[in-house]
Amino acid sequence: MSTIVGIDLGTTNSLVAYIRGDRPEIIPNEQGRRVTPSVVGLDKRGRLHVGETAKNQLVAMPDRTVAAVKRLMGTSQTVRLGERTYTPQEISALILKKLKEDAERHLGRIVHEAVITVPAYFTDAQRQATKDAGELAGFKVERILNEPTAAALAYGLDNLDKEQYVLVYDLGGGTFDVSVLEMFEGVLDVKASAGNNRLGGEDFDRRIVEHLMRLFEREHGISLAGDLKAMARLKAAAEQAKCELSSVDSTTILLPFLAFSGGTPLGMETELSREQLELLIEDLVRSTLEPIDIALRDARLTPAQIHEVILVGGSSRIPLVQRMLAEKFGKEPRRDVNPDEAIALGAAIQAGLKSGSLDISRGIMITDVCPFTLGVEVVGNTGFQKMSGMFSPIIPRNSTIPISRTEIYSTTTDGQQVVDIKVYQGESRLVKNNVFLGAYSVHGVPPGPAGAEKISITFTYDINGILNVKTRILSTNKEETLRIERSSQRLTDEERQQARLRLQAEWGAGAQDDLQSRPAESVPGALPAPAVADPPTAAPSAPVPPASPVQPSPAAKPSASVKALVAAAEKKAREVDPQSRARIEQLVREIKQAVALGERTEAARLEEALTNLLFELE
């Protein structure tokens, strides 16, 4: 039987666990500690360090050390360690490789496979990047598990006889997730998930750092913003103070020799109270309430129906977080689940179920959900004009997975022989505000009048978040397929092999000082974006929409699409009742004002609101 472990690949710390007997157990690292800092460093002799030793050099050599790389997963950004350049997948692979070696040293045998956890709200690109990192580290990765689901598994193992609704509140170093589950007869049924991939303890640390910078500049008249070493020291002090203030009311921050002025060393000594910390981060903590409400609404539950609130992630220890949740749910959150270890323990349980080392006769079964709506770009018809760039959902968010769903579309132009399919994930009615996943073309459509040919599009979404798309021309039964497991940021097979060989060489040859740096790996460009039409009509090819929202330029000139939308709205306003006319005219005025002021984000929001209103009035 091959050895399989469960891994919590965290923003701040990472852990590895396995099943011993019939219980999950954390595997200590080489230093005997249960958590390994998610930090990678390159010393001046060209040797790679991972974990505690890398964290120790962060303050002294910030330009040769990287932390919190999890936030870069699924992007095309690169990381520099001294003279070398790495992708986020490669840095994460080094962390995973360290965990793999620690596990093999502890177990005395080769570890072939891992179940790796990711935030429930991770996008497709982020999940695929995590899988890439695992494979680069030498793992077989067949299972990606959502972090709140893993935590629920750790809780559920000792509560199999209970029937209750559980909310998992997962506030880690870089991400926030919330999942609502129903437990009954050993089944853990995930009802809904929501979250924010850009919120966590790192943001709390940043608020403290900004506060300390203001104090230092006010006292000495010097900004520390451009000093890498000073900023690294501030960051380390902020993190330590945040942790201490979870158990004490006040702490002292002492940082000598932060800067020099005329040869005179300048430092700072200041008190930071829990009350001050809460004032600095209260808006961030309160912002987690909205995803909670979304998850509860999607699960069709009220706070009063939640039996237990489980805290996960180191930042959930903050007293403000716990008070807020107690106020929200009318009960104290559970504190008997270790927030640092729950995810890794749950991953180990899933690994044990997969390998058979954990007896399935105990009755443990888990379901999960798709965290985002999945669909295609369409040409919508509002009755007054055709509008391209609309999003047609096929799999709604929080659908239980695995799932397969089919929708029927049709051609939009006379004589159309090619239909281009663009696949997106997101919740906006406009594809430009959603995330582009992939594209392909369906050729061989029999020419005919617009709307005559029907095309079925089937989405199949599996338990690892891999989407398969199948398109069939109904009149000819011709099929085309697309497997969405390669985002534009994912490594190609060739890049993956090159990265694997490179990491093996650098990991095993750390004592060499003459390793050459390499340029950043080029990242494949996005696929050309096709278009399909909303029932009853599919669109001909269209330009590639970017994955991020297209917003009006700051030159105060509305784009062609905004002009067309405003013209359509003004025409519609003449046909509707006075109340609806007033709503249209108000939105048109606000759009024109936002464009004139160059407020791109606000203009994009108003454009979507006006589009939604026009569809509602049809």
Q: Model confidence over 34-66: pLDDT tens digits?
A: 999 999 999 988 899 999 999 999 888 999 999
Burial class (CB in 10 A: 0-12, 13-18, 19+), 204: buried
The yes-or-no verdict on residue 303 having pLDDT over 60 is yes
Which residues are 428's β-sheet partners? none
- Amino acid 554: pLDDT: 42
Cite the beta strand spans of 262-362 per DSSP E. Answer: 264-273, 308-312
- Amino acid 456: pLDDT: 95
- Amino acid 489: pLDDT: 59
The three-class DSSP label of residue 418 is strand
The yes-or-no verdict on residue 514 having pLDDT over 70 is no
Confidence grade of residue 531 (pLDDT, cut at 50, 70, 90): very low
Tell me the fold of 372-482+526-550.
Answer: Substrate Binding Domain Of DNAk; Chain A, domain 1 (2.60.34)
Confidence grade of residue 87 (pLDDT, cut at 50, 70, 90): very high
- Amino acid 382: pLDDT: 61
170 is catalytic: yes
Question: Which of 90, 102, 132, 170 is an active site residue?
Answer: 170
Rounded Cα distance, 398 and 194, in Å:
9
- Amino acid 608: pLDDT: 74
What b/e string do you get for 481-498 counting C-beta neighbours within 10 Å, with b at 16 or more?
Answer: ebebbbbbbbbeeebeee
Average confidence (pLDDT) over 63-76: 92
The three-class DSSP label of residue 183 is strand
Question: Which of 55, 70, 97, 328 is an active site residue?
Answer: 70
Q: Which two tokens stand for residue 522?
A: 């080029």
Contact status, residue 436 vs residue 616, Cβ threshold 8 Å = no
Neighbour count for residue 190 (Cβ, 10 Å): 26
Contact status, residue 333 vs residue 310, Cβ threshold 8 Å = yes
Confidence grade of residue 507 (pLDDT, cut at 50, 70, 90): confident
Confidence grade of residue 454 (pLDDT, cut at 50, 70, 90): very high
Q: What strands lie across the sheet with 164-171, from one edge to the other?
A: 308-312, 164-171, 176-184, 187-196, 365-370, 399-401
Question: Which of 147, 202, 205, 340 is an active site residue?
Answer: 147
Burial class (CB in 10 A: 0-12, 13-18, 19+), 456: middle
Contact status, residue 118 vs residue 74, Cβ threshold 8 Å = no
The yes-or-no verdict on residue 547 having pLDDT over 50 is no
Calculate the CA dihedral of residues 27, 29, 35, 38 and round it to 10 degrees. -130
- Amino acid 361: pLDDT: 59
Rounded Cα distance, 349 and 254, in Å:
43
Contact status, residue 464 vs residue 142, Cβ threshold 8 Å = yes
Q: Which two tokens stand for residue 497?
A: 């092999």
Is the whole model's pTM more than 0.85, yes or no?
no
Contact status, residue 353 vs residue 25, Cβ threshold 8 Å = no
Q: Which two tokens stand for residue 603?
A: 């203009």
Measured in degrees and rounded to the nearest 5, phi and psi for residue 329 equal -105, -5
- Amino acid 485: pLDDT: 58
Q: What strands lie across the sheet with 48-50, from one edge to the other?
A: 48-50, 39-42, 65-67
Average confidence (pLDDT) over 319-334: 96
- Whole-number average pLDDT of the chain: 85
In sign, the C-alpha dihedral spanning 564, 447, 532, 382 is: positive
Q: How, if at all, do strands 250-261 and 187-196 pair?
A: unpaired
Confidence grade of residue 186 (pLDDT, cut at 50, 70, 90): confident
Distances (CA, A) of 41 to 35, 262, 521: 17, 33, 19
Residue whose tokens read 């790796």: 116
Note the pLDDT tens digit of each residue in 199-225: 999 999 999 999 999 999 999 999 999
- Amino acid 487: pLDDT: 54
340 is catalytic: no
Would you list the domain boundaries of the chain? Answer: 4-199+287-370, 201-282, 372-482+526-550, 551-618
φ/ψ bin of 176: left (φ > 0), alpha (ψ from -120 to 50), beta (otherwise): beta
Highest mean pLDDT among 95-109, 385-399, 513-527: 95-109
- Tell which CATH classification among 3.30.365.10, 3.30.420.40, 3.90.1150.10, 2.40.340.10 matches the domain 4-199+287-370: 3.30.420.40
- Amino acid 516: pLDDT: 36
Contact status, residue 4 vs residue 111, Cβ threshold 8 Å = yes
Peptide bond connecting 536 to the previous residue in cis, omega within 30 degrees of 0: yes
- Amino acid 539: pLDDT: 36
- Amino acid 210: pLDDT: 96
- Amino acid 424: pLDDT: 92
Average confidence (pLDDT) over 156-166: 83
Same fold, 4-199+287-370 and 372-482+526-550: no
Q: Which two tokens stand for residue 407?
A: 């929708």
Confidence grade of residue 603 (pLDDT, cut at 50, 70, 90): confident
Choose between 412 and 559: higher pLDDT. Answer: 412
Cite the beta strand spans of 313-462 per DSSP E. Answer: 365-370, 374-381, 386-395, 399-401, 403-410, 418-425, 435-443, 454-461
Closest CA to 82 of 60, 97, 56: 60
Distances (CA, A) of 186 to 153, 163, 370: 10, 9, 22
Distances (CA, A) of 528 to 129, 326, 465: 21, 49, 22
Confidence grade of residue 536 (pLDDT, cut at 50, 70, 90): very low
Confidence grade of residue 1 (pLDDT, cut at 50, 70, 90): low
Note the pLDDT tens digit of each residue in 476-490: 999 888 777 555 556
Q: What CATH number does the domain located at 201-282 have?
A: 3.90.640.10
φ/ψ bin of 426: left (φ > 0), alpha (ψ from -120 to 50), beta (otherwise): left
SS (H, E, C) 8-45: EECCCEEEEEEEECCEEEECCCCCCCCCEECEEEECCC
Confidence grade of residue 226 (pLDDT, cut at 50, 70, 90): confident
Residue length, the chain?
618
The yes-or-no verdict on residue 31 having pLDDT over 60 is yes
Peptide bond connecting 540 to the previous residue in cis, omega within 30 degrees of 0: no
- Amino acid 466: pLDDT: 77
Question: Which of 8, 124, 202, 341 is an active site residue?
Answer: 8
Q: Which of 137-141, 286-290, 333-337, 527-531 has the lowest mean pLDDT?
A: 527-531
Rounded Cα distance, 46 and 516, in Å:
9
The yes-or-no verdict on residue 440 having pLDDT over 70 is yes
Confidence grade of residue 493 (pLDDT, cut at 50, 70, 90): confident
- Amino acid 367: pLDDT: 83
Average confidence (pLDDT) over 424-430: 89
Residue 578's contacts (CB-CB under 8 Å, 6 or more residues apart) are none
The three-class DSSP label of residue 429 is coil
Rounded Cα distance, 510 and 547, in Å:
39
What single-letter amino acid sits at 594?
A: A
Average confidence (pLDDT) over 148-174: 88
The yes-or-no verdict on residue 533 having pLDDT over 60 is no
70 is catalytic: yes
